[in-house]
Amino acid sequence: MADILIVYYSRKGENYWNGGLKKIAKGNTERVAEFIQNAVGGDLFEVDTVKPYSESYMTGIEEAKQELRAKARPEIKAYPENYDEYDTIFVGYPNWWGTMPMCVFTLLEKYDLTGKTIIPFCTNEGSGMGSSERDLKNICKGATVKAGLSIHGAEAENSEGKVAAWAKKSI
């Protein structure tokens, strides 16, 4: 089996949840990333920004909107080691304003992804993958970007069977 890396950004704390706000100890995208690892193996890498987003969900999404409009590339704390050794990279994120958080762009734009297989997964509260698959194809030049998986955030913790079946089929 090819070497697999699962990179993800996940929001912990206050989140939008079925029309309201709810505090969660583990982010929805992180849960899905762990389900993928359980299903197909691989190494997990959590993207973490140097400047954290606000703990308030509403303020945090406004910060994310400003980053998107400015085409910002927020600094991240670390990058995966030995990136070249991975053939398959699952990329996970919440859908923020129709695409990935800008910190995911920061990570992916650092590397030459030619020849890699990129498999996106996205948590959201009804907006699906948005333009994120197209955006991935634009920034992952030379890579094969496969069809992604959209998971309703409020259902993430109960999605292991669906996620595992998709992940196994995707590699």
* Domains by residue range for the chain, with CATH: 4-170 (3.40.50.360)
Task: Give the per-residue pLDDT at 57.
Answer: 95
Q: What is the mean pLDDT of residues 109-113?
A: 96
Query: Using an 8 Å Cβ cutoff, are 33 and 10 in contact?
Result: yes
pTM: 0.96
In tens, the pLDDT along 125-165 reads 989 999 999 999 999 999 999 999 999 999 999 999 999 99
Assigned token pair, 166: 């998709």
Whether the pLDDT of residue 98 is over 70: the answer is: yes
Confidence at 89, pLDDT banded by 50, 70, 90: very high
Write out the DSSP string of 37-63.
HHHH--EEEE--BSSPPPSSHHHHHHH
User: How buried is residue 54: exposed, middle or buried, by Cβ count under 10 Å (0-12/13-18/19+)?
Assistant: middle
SS3 133: helix
In tens, the pLDDT along 8-45 reads 999 999 998 999 999 999 999 999 999 999 999 999 99
In tens, the pLDDT along 36-88 reads 999 999 999 999 999 999 999 999 999 999 999 999 999 999 999 999 999 99
User: How buried is residue 151: exposed, middle or buried, by Cβ count under 10 Å (0-12/13-18/19+)?
Assistant: buried
